[in-house]
């Protein structure tokens, strides 16, 4: 912990555990430290970063003073989800450098739910900018070894907090128009949970809609989270006409996989348990992607509740024809 604090204060990167995925963290108020994140991730400068803080009081420091009176009650209503997998996008204070927000007038903020990272944040006097600790467009990391394997000798100092319990990136909720909250990225905190807490309807930004709204999530392009091995939905695959001999399967229940001589099978849950599927999805994608398979087939689930986030990530990872 002391070493992580020293490195971050000196403007260096540290890999931090969160309940969603591992993050590649730097002092959010130090533009040259934040530049190192973009460089190591090979992330386009147009894709803004989430700032992690320890409390709602800290969050409010980074909301534009002119918007605070309107935003504060909304944060109060959402407080039951923090620490946890919810990120809010709000009008930003001037102290947040332009490199964090990719030049937009808003900033994304969240309080992550991991004891190590909460303790770290409470000992720092700045927020931590942290995207998922993977190269741009690859699968997000949910275990320390995912980060080490990906960055190898370039891997920054890593705080090992074990496997991530949620396993999918946080729900991103835009409050830029406080009367029309909008989900920019689905996650473990669902649309209905947010609508109930806020007491008003919550929209979901579709690809089409996100072109019209002023503060869309640039990171939500269709090509994202993809393994290197071609990935296809099990439900659309024709076994009879398949030219492949080495196919892997990611199943969401234990009754799948007997219909074919798969080279590898990962069963994420005995019985379609969405929380377990979410927690294990990226680990399974990474394991099968390292096996030199010709094709990975993946199961589907109902796109309701956390299932909406699971299917969102799978749709983005599918090989586009």
The answer to whether 23 contacts ligand TXA (rule: CB under 6 A) is yes
Site for ligand TXA in 250-289 (CB under 6 A): none
Using CB under 6 A, which of 87, 142, 190, 229 touches ligand TXA? Answer: 87
Cβ atoms of 281 and 167 within 8 Å: the answer is yes
Site size with ligand TXA, rule: CB under 6 A: 30
Using DSSP's 3-state secondary structure scheme, residue 283 falls into helix
DSSP at 233 = E
Find the part of the chain contacting ligand TXA (CB under 6 A) among 18-26, 56-64, 241-249, 271-279: 18-26
If the CB atoms of residues 133 and 247 are measured against ligand TXA, the closer one turns out to be 133
Q: How many residues appear in the chain?
A: 321
For tokens 């003073």, name the residue: 65
Minimum distance of ligand TXA from residue 240's CB (angstroms)? 39
Interatomic CA distance for residues 203 and 180, integer angstroms? 7
Of the residues 27, 132, 165, 190, which one makes contact with ligand TXA according to CB under 6 A = 132
Number of other residues whose CB lies within 10 A of the CB of residue 258: 8
Q: Of 52, 55, 6, 56, whose CA–CA distance to 29 is shortest?
A: 52
Tell me the closest approach of the beta carbon of residue 102 to ligand TXA, in angstroms: 7
Which of 17, 131, 141, 307 forms a contact with ligand TXA (CB under 6 A)? 131
DSSP per-residue letters across 102-129? TT-SEEEEE----HHHHHHHHT-SSPEE
In the bound state with ligand TXA, the residue whose beta carbon lies nearer, of 166 and 301, is: 166
Closest distance between ligand TXA and the C-beta of residue 224, in Å?
9
Terminal-residue alpha carbon distance, the chain: 46
127 binds, among ligand TXA, Mg ion, none (CB under 5 to 8 A by kind): none
Please give the full DSSP string across 143-157, using - where no structure is assigned. Answer: SHHHHHHHHGGGPPE
Query: What dihedral do alpha carbons 34, 35, 38, 40 form, nearest 10°?
Result: -100
Beta-carbon contacts of 95 under 8 Å, excluding residues fewer than 6 positions away, are 29, 61, 62
Residues linked to residue 242 through DSSP beta bridges, in sequence order: none
Residues that bind Mg ion (CB under 5 A): 132
92 vs 185, beta carbon nearer Mg ion: 185
112, 144, 227, 248: which one contacts ligand TXA (CB under 6 A)?
112
Span of 113-121, 126-134, 231-239, 293-301 interacting with ligand TXA by CB under 6 A: 126-134
C-alpha distances (whole Å) from 137 to each of 43, 47, 299, 316 are 9, 12, 21, 10
Residue 101: name its binding partner from ligand TXA, Mg ion, none (Cβ under 5 to 8 Å by kind).
ligand TXA
The span from the CA of 314 to the CA of 299, in Å, is: 9
SS3 232: strand
Q: In this chain, which residue has its C-beta nearest to Mg ion?
A: 132
CA distance 73 to 50: 21
Tell me which of ligand TXA, Mg ion, none is bound by residue 23, counting a contact when its beta carbon lies within the kind-specific cut-off of 5 to 8 angstroms: ligand TXA
Question: What mask of x and - would describe binding to ligand TXA in positions 172 to 201, judged by CB under 6 A?
Answer: x-----------xx----------------
Phi, psi of 314 (to 5 degrees): -65, -45
Binding residues for ligand TXA restricted to 214-233, rule: CB under 6 A: 215, 217-220
Q: Which of 75, 108, 194, 231 binds ligand TXA (CB under 6 A)?
A: 108
- Contact between 144 and ligand TXA (CB under 6 A)? no
For ligand TXA, the binding residues (CB under 6 A) are 18, 20-21, 23, 47-50, 85, 87, 89, 101, 104, 106-108, 112, 130-132, 169-170, 172, 184-185, 215, 217-220
């Amino acid at each position: 912990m002391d070493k992580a604090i020293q490195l971050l204060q000196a403007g260096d990167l540290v890999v931090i555990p969160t309940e969603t995925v591992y993050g590649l963290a730097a002092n959010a108020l130090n533009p040259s430290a934040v530049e190192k994140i973009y460089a190591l991730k090979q992330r386009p400068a147009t894709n803004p970063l989430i700032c992690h803080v320890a409390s709602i009081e800290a969050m409010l420091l980074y909301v534009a003073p002119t918007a605070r009176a309107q935003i504060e009650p909304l944060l109060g209503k959402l407080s039951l989800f923090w620490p946890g997998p919810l990120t809010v996008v709000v009008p930003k204070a001037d102290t947040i450098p332009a490199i964090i927000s990719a030049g937009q007038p808003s900033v994304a903020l969240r309080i992550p739910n991991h004891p190590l990272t909460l303790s770290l944040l409470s000992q720092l006097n700045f927020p931590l900018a942290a995207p998922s600790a993977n190269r741009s467009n690859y699968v997000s990391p949910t275990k320390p070894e995912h980060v080490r394997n990906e960055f190898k000798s370039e891997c920054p100092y890593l705080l090992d907090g074990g496997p991530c319990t949620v396993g999918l990136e946080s729900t991103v909720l835009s409050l830029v128009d406080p009367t029309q909250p909008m989900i920019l990225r689905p996650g473990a905190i669902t649309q209905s949970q947010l609508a109930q807490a806020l007491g008003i309807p919550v929209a979901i930004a579709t690809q089409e809609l996100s072109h019209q709204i002023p503060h869309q999530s640039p990171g939500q392009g269709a090509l994202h989270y993809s393994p290197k091995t071609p990935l296809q939905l099990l439900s659309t695959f024709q076994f009879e006409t398949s030219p492949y001999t080495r196919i892997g399967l990611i199943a969401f229940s234990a009754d799948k996989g007997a219909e074919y001589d798969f080279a590898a099978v990962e069963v994420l849950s005995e019985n379609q348990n969405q929380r377990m599927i979410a927690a294990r999805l990226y680990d399974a994608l990474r394991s099968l992607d390292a096996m030199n398979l010709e094709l990975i087939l993946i199961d589907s689930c109902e796109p309701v509740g956390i299932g909406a986030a699971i299917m969102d990530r799978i749709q983005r990872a599918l090989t586009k024809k």
